[in-house]
């Protein structure tokens, strides 16, 4: 067989599907995996694509199967396994070859890997790939970080395998170093917030409005025809429709209410905190998954304080739909604001409109809404969505509903950690005179940290009476 155009290490679900996608697009691909039987099975199951796939478990043989300059995609578990594969590959690669890490890497690891490969002549790209199994097979959204030269070498194949929105590839070069993996991390943070807010409105329907899963499914199906139209809303209706074959009951009632998390949502919140950008909806979503995992404590808590009453939310479904839209605007505003700040700090010059564009198809948060976001960012350079004219209009129309829902849920004893933090963020964002003048006074009182005055430039300290507030 002629030499392969590209190599891929790691035949997990994502790796396997990405490899088939590459072959499907006309490229010859060689694969490598720790266990040889996976390679054999992969080739045996490649069907009509079999003449374009080859592979070997021996790394040297695998590399020799690739056309020079070589491009090798790594699709293994994030963390140490990536370093182990790079160490294995390095002795067999040459100047001009490029390693492409397509896993969900922590971008700090990506930055370190760039530094470690620096001077070897071996190039590196850190790419975020979103869309799960289906996306990997038929077109994911691809967020690329690294040097522009290396990007141009890989551009053709990455664009070919990516999802398309109106014919445009959902794959773009976003910046140097860890830019691609950083953007993927924030994508996942937004994904967490989006999913959590959907779970909260489901909670309002189930507990506050006493609706059955089938009724909830119907509402989500309807909402998917309007401004909330998105992959996550669509799959939510399917999740609510599913019936458990064992019990005959709605599957959603059988699934345990404890959410897993692999870490990207948490990284997203950590990065926001480190950058000093408010991303409370993402934090709220991560925290909601953490508290969901504390099932025994929640059961004990319900015994201590009593269960929330059923059917007590005073909201209608139209209000709920608008509230979700307002919450979603706040969450995306926060996610994009984190990226804008990170771009500034790292000198990435992240194209926010382009990021929204490549998220319109292929990825988990794909939606019609992202098209509106890309248009808004293309029009103006304001980094916060809440100041973009189209979103100002949408937020003016919908924030009242968010307020109504959060208030109704507070009275009905239903938790809405993400929706309520979205509302608090919005109210704080448009409050010209906040309340941290008192915080500054306190800091100056106990630690002489100083404060600014409203009527004069400079740093000031007040001579607070020394005995006030002293213990004893």
State the nearest-atom distance from the C-beta of 262 to ligand 6PG, in Å: 4
State the nearest-atom distance from the C-beta of 156 to ligand 6PG, in Å: 23
Are residues 389 and 320 in contact, defined by beta-carbon separation less than 8 angstroms?
Answer: no
Cα–Cα distance measured from residue 208 to residue 68, given in angstroms and rounded to the nearest whole number: 62
Catalytic entry in 38, 184, 328, 341: 184
Please choose, from the candidates 281, 279, 271, the residue with its C-alpha nearest in 3D space to the C-alpha of residue 345. 271
Catalytic entry in 16, 38, 150, 191: 191
Q: Which residue is nearest to ligand 6PG (CB)?
A: 130
Q: Which helix (H) or strand (E) holds 55?
A: strand 53-55
Please choose, from the candidates 361, 352, 362, the residue with its C-alpha nearest in 3D space to the C-alpha of residue 388. 352
Residue placing its CB nearer to ligand 6PG in the complex, 52 or 289: 289
Burial 105-139 (b: 16+ CB within 10 A, else e): bbbebbbebbeebeeeebbbbbbbbbbbeebbbeb
State the nearest-atom distance from the C-beta of 51 to ligand 6PG, in Å: 30
Q: Which residues pair with 190 in a beta bridge?
A: none
State the nearest-atom distance from the C-beta of 323 to ligand 6PG, in Å: 24
State the nearest-atom distance from the C-beta of 285 to ligand 6PG, in Å: 10
Q: 179-203 and 317-346 are packed helices; what angle lies between their axes, rounded to 10 degrees?
A: 160
Sequence-separated (6 or more) residues with CB below 8 Å from residue 285:
189, 192, 193, 195, 196, 197, 265, 417, 418
Residue placing its CB nearer to ligand 6PG in the complex, 123 or 362: 362
Q: 213-223 and 317-346 are packed helices; what angle lies between their axes, rounded to 10 degrees?
A: 60
Residue placing its CB nearer to ligand 6PG in the complex, 123 or 126: 126
184 is catalytic: yes
Cα–Cα distance measured from residue 122 to residue 150, given in angstroms and rounded to the nearest whole number: 10
467 phi and psi, to 5 degrees?
-90, -20
Cα–Cα distance measured from residue 46 to residue 57, given in angstroms and rounded to the nearest whole number: 17
State the nearest-atom distance from the C-beta of 195 to ligand 6PG, in Å: 8
State the nearest-atom distance from the C-beta of 169 to ligand 6PG, in Å: 17
Residue placing its CB nearer to ligand 6PG in the complex, 126 or 265: 265
Residue placing its CB nearer to ligand 6PG in the complex, 104 or 230: 104
Please choose, from the candidates 398, 407, 230, the residue with its C-alpha nearest in 3D space to the C-alpha of residue 324. 398
Are residues 395 and 416 in contact, defined by beta-carbon separation less than 8 angstroms?
Answer: no
Residue placing its CB nearer to ligand 6PG in the complex, 18 or 342: 18
- Three-state secondary-structure class, residue 286: helix
Residue placing its CB nearer to ligand 6PG in the complex, 260 or 434: 260
Prior bond to 109 cis, omega within 30? no
In the complex, the residues that contact ligand 6PG under the rule CB under 6 A are: 104, 130-132, 188, 191, 260-262, 264-265, 363-364
Residue keyed to tokens 């915080």? 439
Residue keyed to tokens 């007040």? 462
Residue placing its CB nearer to ligand 6PG in the complex, 209 or 363: 363
Q: Which residues pair with 146 in a beta bridge?
A: 125
Q: Mind telling me the catalytic residues?
A: 184, 191
């Amino acid at each position: 067989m002629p030499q392969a155009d590209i190599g891929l290490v790691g035949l997990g679900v994502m790796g396997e599907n990405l490899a088939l996608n590459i072959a499907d697009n006309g490229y010859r691909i060689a694969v490598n995996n720790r266990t040889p039987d996976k390679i054999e099975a992969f080739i045996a199951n490649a069907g009509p694509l079999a003449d374009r796939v080859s592979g070997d478990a021996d790394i040297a043989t695998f590399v020799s199967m690739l056309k020079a300059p070589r491009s090798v995609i790594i699709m293994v578990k994030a963390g140490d396994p990536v370093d182990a594969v790079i160490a294995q590959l390095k002795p067999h690669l040459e100047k001009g070859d490029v390693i492409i890490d397509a896993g969900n890497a922590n971008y700090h690891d990506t930055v370190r890997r760039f530094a470690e490969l620096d001077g070897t002549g071996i190039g590196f790209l850190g790419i975020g790939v979103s869309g799960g199994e289906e996306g990997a097979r038929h077109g994911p959204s691809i967020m690329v970080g690294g040097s522009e030269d290396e990007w141009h070498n890989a551009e053709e194949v990455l664009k070919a395998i990516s999802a398309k929105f109106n014919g445009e590839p959902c794959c773009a070069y976003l910046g140097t170093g860890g830019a691609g993996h950083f953007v993927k991390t924030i994508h996942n943070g937004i994904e967490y917030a989006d999913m959590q807010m959907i779970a909260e409105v489901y909670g309002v329907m189930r507990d506050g409005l006493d609706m059955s899963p089938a009724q909830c499914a119907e509402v989500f199906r309807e909402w998917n025809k309007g401004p909330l139209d998105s992959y996550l809303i669509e799959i939510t209706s399917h999740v609510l429709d599913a019936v458990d074959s064992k019990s005959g009951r709605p599957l959603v009632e059988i699934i345990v209410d404890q959410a897993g998390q692999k870490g990207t949502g948490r990284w997203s919140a950590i990065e926001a905190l480190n950058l000093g950008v408010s991303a409370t909806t993402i934090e709220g979503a991560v925290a909601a998954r953490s508290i969901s995992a504390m099932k025994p404590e929640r059961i004990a808590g319900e015994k201590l304080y009593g269960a929330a009453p059923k059917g007590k939310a005073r909201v209608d479904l139209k209000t709920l739909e608008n509230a979700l839209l307002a919450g979603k605007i706040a969450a995306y505003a926060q996610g994009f604001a984190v990226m804008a700040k990170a771009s500034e700090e790292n000198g990435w010059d992240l194209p926010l409109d382009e990021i929204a564009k490549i998220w319109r198809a292929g990825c988990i948060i794909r939606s019609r809404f992202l098209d509106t976001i890309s248009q808004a960012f293309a029009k103006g350079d304001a980094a916060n969505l809440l100041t973009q004219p189209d979103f100002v209009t949408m937020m003016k129309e919908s924030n009242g509903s968010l307020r109504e829902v959060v208030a109704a849920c507070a009275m009905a004893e239903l938790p809405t950690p993400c929706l309520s933090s979205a509302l608090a963020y919005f109210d704080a964002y448009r409050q010209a005179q906040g309340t941290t003048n008192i915080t500054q006074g306190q800091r100056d009182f106990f630690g002489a940290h100083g404060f600014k005055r409203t009527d004069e430039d400079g740093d000031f300290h007040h001579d607070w009476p020394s005995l006030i507030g002293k213990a004893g």
